Amino acid sequence: MTELPAEYDVPRAADERTTLLGFLDRYRAVARRKAVGVDADGMRLTVGASPLTIGAIVKHLAYVEDIWFTACFAGNPMDEPWNSAPLVDDPDWDLHSAADDEPADLLALFDAACARSRAAVGSRPLDDHTAIPYRDGSPQSLRWVVVHIIEEYARHVGHLDLLRETVDGSVGD
pLDDT at 99: 96
Region 107-127: mean pLDDT is 97
Q: Nearest CA to 100 among 50, 56, 58? A: 56
Reading phi first (left if > 0) and then psi (alpha if -120 to 50, else beta), residue 147 is in alpha
CA gap 83, 64 in Å, rounded:
14
Q: Which CATH number does 17-168 carry? A: 1.20.120.450
Count the neighbouring beta carbons within 10 Å of the beta carbon of residue 142.
22
Q: What is the pLDDT of residue 1?
A: 56
Residue-range domain boundaries for the chain: 17-168
Long-range contact set of residues 2-11: C-beta below 8 Å, sequence gap at least 24: 2/172, 2/173, 3/172, 3/173, 4/29, 4/30, 4/33, 4/173
pLDDT for 121 equals 97
Dump pLDDT digits (tens) for 59-70.
999 999 999 999
